[in-house]
Chain A
Amino acid sequence: VHLALILEPVLRGLSAGALYGLVAMGLTMIFGVMRVINVAHGELVMLGGYGAYFLWTVWHIGPIAGLALVIPAAFLFGMLIHLLLVERVASQAEISSLMVTFGLSIVLWSLAQIAFTANFRSIRYLGQAVNILGVYLPANAPVIFGVSLMLSLLTSAVLARTPLGRAIRATSQNEGLAQACGINCRMVRAAGFGIGTALAAAGGVLVAVAFVIYPQIGLSYIGKAFAVAVLGGMGNVTGALAGGLILGVVESIGAEVFTAQIAQVFAWALIFVMLIVRPTGLFGAPE
């Protein structure tokens, strides 16, 4: 009985944590490619969630199939944001890109509030209980864990093994040299931003299944994503997954010990602690 008591929050935390890792991977990747923190990353999660929600309620497309539509749409949307806004300020002082993406974040959530109302929405999908290691969890929990893990590994593989991944890494390491080798750095950065956006939106689809979505959800997800990215080392894509699992478990146990509301603060507190203790992340310097 006691083991199940501890195991339940841990398993719940791992499922949520894989999702956090997925979202944070998008944030850390955008940072790695162009040294920009996308403050509107949480709003991209929110938009992904609404995309899946409307696919589900209007066209009865399940969230897992919905991912196949949301991911390419988000990729194109991200490229568009990058080319219109971020590319113009990426080379300037950090304050410019921070303020532009902060402005974008407010524009996106207030538009969402107008278009979708402030109501809480969620996708009821695989809600029945299943027995995992003696703990009853909703059936969507292992699915979310698996999908997040797969998408994370897929992203790592794309970065490590494909020509696009090589171009992205080359651009982030030495832009001048990459350009000299015939890489179109502008489009590569746009693709990087697109992939980051797609990861955030994919995370949002899973958020709509596991939790709820509403227009102002972005603020808490930029907090979680940033905490996870700092844990894993900013710019370290595989570190983000590990960081996500850690935050998920810590939050889940925190919600048991204190309240769910207090657990929401853990991510922010973790940012502070990490910045003081180990700003380069748990796994050393990525750069």
Chain B
Amino acid sequence: MTAVAVARAPRRPAWRPALGLLVLAIVAALPAALSPYGLSVAVTVCFYVVLAEAWNLFSGYTGYVNFGSAGFIGLGAYGCAVMIWKFGWPWPAALAAAAVVPTAVSLVALPALRVRGAYFAIAMLGFAETARVLCGSKYLEPVTNGSVGIPLTPGLGITGLFYLMAATAAATVAVTYAVARGEAGLRLLAIRENEAASRVLGIETTWYKGAALLTSAALTGVAGGIFAIFLAYIEPDAVFSASLTLQTMLMAAFGGLGTVFGPVVGAVLLTLVIQALSTYLLQWDFVVVGAVLIAIVLLIPEGVLPRLQRRFAHWRHRGL
């Protein structure tokens, strides 16, 4: 895993907190500046920021490839939707359920952490597929309304949805930042580089991997819950779609795996590009998305942000 750069800056530049505040101010002012359509694009951008960053928090740092991101999204969406539609919960409580349901169900997936690489990746793909089929099956129909799906009208406007999604995105980045800058981040990276060696050094690898996976599941689940309200109608094929996992991985890999801000950059840039191109691409969108993923892994395996940072460091060395 040496190809993926480790973004652990030796010292923090003074402009970082100022930039953070500026981003917060811009995000807070967005609803006033954007049309409802523009705001719905902004919700989508924040949604993918959560997905890419939460995916990165687990897969980027531990090197365990999670093909089951859509499972967390779908379980979060269903956790939220069922509570509102079936039990009449208010949306804040339903969003709590959106975090709890995928996390609780992921406990089942924890044994898969015994195996690395492709075994784990395919097991997680199976996790998402099993959840999709069960949510649409006749056995869960009394709760999930089967393959018909669930309509949602919880009385949250687009502005409220935007602030919720943006807050979730900020929280996800903050959690990743805290983990990455702390000891936990180092331990997760040690697992990625050499799991056996890190266990010999006394790192409780199982605990760290599990905690990272469950955190990733909870954050992705909340985003899935808000996304469900945003969609206003959900059905299994829409919220468990494997293409959600693909886009998540693409954005995280594009920005840079195992870095804090890479996936954010990847999610913002690529969501906007895909949105802008969607009118031209029509049904070719996934062909392009898949091809770009292949191209990135082949051409810029460490991600765009680390590459730019290296460029920048190089200039700094030459006194520019």
A residues adjacent to B (C-beta < 8 A): 31, 37, 39, 85, 88-89, 92-96, 98-100, 102-107, 109-111, 113-114, 219-220, 222-223, 226, 230, 234, 259, 261-262, 264-265, 267-269, 271-272, 275-276, 279
Most buried by B among A92, A107, A113, A219: A107
The yes or no answer to B161 lying at the interface (CB within 8 A) is no
Residues of B within 8 A of A110 (CB): 283-287, 290
In the assembled complex, the CB of A26 is this many whole angstroms from the nearest CB of chain B, namely: 15
Shortest beta-carbon distance from B163 to chain A in Å: 33
Which residues does chain B contribute within 8 Å of A37, judged by CB atoms? 117-118, 121-122
Known: A37-B118, A114-B283, A279-B115. A271 touches B133 (CB 8 A): no
Say what secondary structure dominates the interface of chain B.
helix
B6 within 8 A of A: no
State whether B294 touches A107 (Cβ < 8 A). yes
Q: Is B111 an interface residue (CB 8 A)?
A: yes
Please list 24 pairs of residues, one from A and one from B, whose beta carbons are closer than 8 Å in the complex, sorted by A's number. Answer: A39-B121, A85-B298, A94-B116, A95-B59, A95-B65, A98-B117, A102-B249, A103-B246, A104-B294, A105-B290, A106-B289, A107-B287, A110-B287, A110-B290, A114-B283, A222-B125, A261-B133, A265-B129, A265-B130, A268-B126, A268-B127, A272-B108, A272-B111, A275-B119
**How many positions in chain B have a CB within 8 Å of any CB in the partner chain?**
52
Q: Mark B275-294, 1 if CB is under 8 A from A, else 0.
A: 00000000111110111111
Q: Least Cβ distance of A133 to chain B in Å? A: 32
Binding site for A on B (CB under 8 A): 1, 3-4, 59, 63, 65, 67, 108-109, 111-112, 114-119, 121-123, 125-127, 129-130, 133-134, 136-139, 242-243, 246, 249-250, 253, 257, 283-287, 289-294, 297-298, 301
CB distance from A30 to the nearest CB of B (A): 11
Nearest-Cβ distance from residue A143 to partner chain B, whole angstroms: 30
Q: Which of B130, B292, B298 contacts A268 (CB 8 A)?
A: B130
Question: Which residues of chain B are near A271, meaning CB under 8 Å?
Answer: 122-123, 126
> Given A98-B65, A106-B243, A107-B290, are A223 and B133 also a contact pair (CB < 8 Å)?
no
What are the nearest 8 A-B pairs in CB distance?
A: A268-B126, A37-B118, A103-B293, A106-B290, A107-B290, A110-B286, A94-B117, A103-B294
B283's contact among A98, A113, A269, by CB below 8 Å, is which? A113
Would A99 and B293 count as touching, CB distance under 8 A? yes
User: Interface SS of chain A: helix, strand, loop or mixed?
Assistant: helix
With A85-B298, A94-B65 in contact, is A106–B122 under 8 Å at CB? no
Q: Are A99 and B129 in contact (CB under 8 A)?
A: no
Q: Which residues of A contact B243 (CB under 8 A)?
A: 106
Q: Which residues of A contact B136 (CB under 8 A)?
A: 261
Hey, which chain A residues are within 8 Å of B133, CB to CB?
261-262, 264-265
Residues in B with CB closer than 8 Å to A262 are 133, 137, 139
C-alpha spacing A194/B292, complex, angstroms: 24
Across the interface, A114 reaches (CB within 8 A) one of B246, B287, B292, namely B287
How many angstroms between the C-alpha atoms of A154 and B229 in the bound complex? 55
Q: How many whole Å from B58's CB to the nearest CB in chain A?
A: 12
Report A156 CB to chain B, min CB distance, Å. Answer: 23
- A219 and B129 contacting across the interface, CB-CB below 8 Å: yes
Q: Are A265 and B283 in contact, with the CB atoms below 8 A? A: no
Instruction: Specify which chain A residues have a CB less than 8 angstroms from the CB of B242 in the assembled complex.
Output: 106, 219
Which chain A residues border B123 with CB–CB below 8 Å?
Answer: 271-272, 275
Kindly state the separation between the CA atoms of A276 and B294 in the bound complex, as whole angstroms: 31
B112 touches A275 (CB 8 A): yes
- A93: chain B residues at CB < 8 Å are 1, 3-4, 63
Contact A114 B249 (CB under 8 A): no
**Once the chains are docked, how many angstroms separate the CA of A252 from the CA of B53?**
41
Chain B residue, CB-CB nearest to A105: B290
Residues of B within 8 A of A106 (CB): 242-243, 246, 286-287, 289-290, 293
**Closest Cβ neighbor of B60 among chain A residues:** A95
Residues from chain A with a CB closer than 8 A to the CB of B109 are 272
Contact of B297 among A31, A103, A107, A264 (CB under 8 A): A103
Besides the known contacts A94-B118, A107-B286, A271-B123, 10 further A-B residue pairs in the complex with CB atoms under 8 A apart = A93-B1, A94-B65, A103-B290, A104-B290, A106-B286, A110-B290, A219-B242, A222-B125, A259-B137, A276-B111
> How far is the CB of A277 from the nearest CB of chain B, in Å?
10
Question: CB-CB < 8 A to B291: which residues of A?
Answer: 103, 107
